[in-house]
Amino acid sequence: MVSEKTVMPTQAQAELAVSEQMVPLSDAMKEFRAQMHLYKAGIRTVEMKLQTLDEEFHAKYDYNPIHHIETRLKEPRSIFKKMERLGVSGTIGEMKRALTDIAGVRVICNYISDTKTVAEMLLRQDDVVLVRKSDYIHEPKESGYRSLHLVVTVPVYLSERMERVPVEVQIRTIAMDCWASLEHHLRYKAEGEIPEDLRYRLRICAMAIAEVDAEMQEIKRAVDRNAP
Q: How far is CA 219 from the centre of its chain?
A: 29
Helix, strand, coil shares, percent, the chain, to 5: 50, 20, 30
Q: What one-character-per-residue DSSP string does 108-165 give?
A: EESSHHHHHHHHHHHHTSTT-EEEEEEETTTS--TT----EEEEEEEEEE-SS-EEEE
Q: Any residues with CB less than 8 A from the CB of 90 and at least 6 apart, and which?
A: 7, 8, 80, 83
CA distance 114 to 116: 5
CA distance 62 to 111: 16
Mapping DSSP to helix (H, G, I), strand (E, B) and coil, where does residue 103 land? strand
CA distance 214 to 179: 15
- The active-site residue out of 20, 55, 168, 191 is 168
Separation in Å, CA 93 to CA 14, 83, 201: 15, 12, 42
CA distance 18 to 5: 20
Residue 168 falls in the annotated catalytic set: yes
Dihedral sign computed on CA atoms, order 59, 138, 206, 223:
positive
Question: Annotated active-site positions, please?
Answer: 168
